[in-house]
Amino acid sequence: MSRIDLLPDAGPVLALRQALYRAGRDYHGGITKLAFDMVMDVDALQKKLHPTEERRWPSPDEIEEIVRWTADPRLLDALVRPAGAVWYRPEPVPATNEALQAVAKLLEESSEFVGSLHEGAADNVWTAGEVVDLEQRGMDVIRQVLAIMAGARQAMEDEAHG
């Protein structure tokens, strides 16, 4: 496996090709370990995940396996963003006062971020980067609120069955 990162400073919002590469590279053990876990030739997977490769793409079945093994949130974002959808992995977070305060802090930070985009709103001209950043922050807030909701439900069900 190459130690050279072919996608330095790509940022939090990635295109599908970039997200596939990053998911493989950041997998514990890297692309080599991912290929081993997928029972696939290492060289073939490296070529399919190369961020600038245009002729070789992972098949739909291979993409499904990459998602299953890596569970990389950037890859999940890249897969559902074109449909305007938000993914959610049910990971209940205890619905404590601290968790609710964390959501309030996240909402406050997102509000400040949205407020900083006043130039785009003032002339109704939005750049692609502003829109993608805004969408990403919105998805983060939604996921955190859903996690707290799942935690509250789990606590309620534990009390009912406990």
Query: Tokens for 43?
Result: 């060289």
Confirm if 22 and 76 have CB atoms less than 8 A apart.
no
CA angle 4, 6, 8 (to 5 degrees): 95
Query: Tokens for 96?
Result: 């404590």
Pick the closest to residue 132 from 84, 88, 92 (CA basis). 84
pTM score of the predicted model: 0.61
pLDDT at 10 over 60: no
Across the chain, which distance is largest between two alpha carbons, in Å?
57
Q: How far out from the chain centre does Cα 126 lie? A: 23
Extents of the domains making up the chain: 16-83, 97-161
Over residues 29-82, the pLDDT tens digits come to 999 999 999 999 999 999 999 988 788 899 999 999 999 999 999 999 999 988
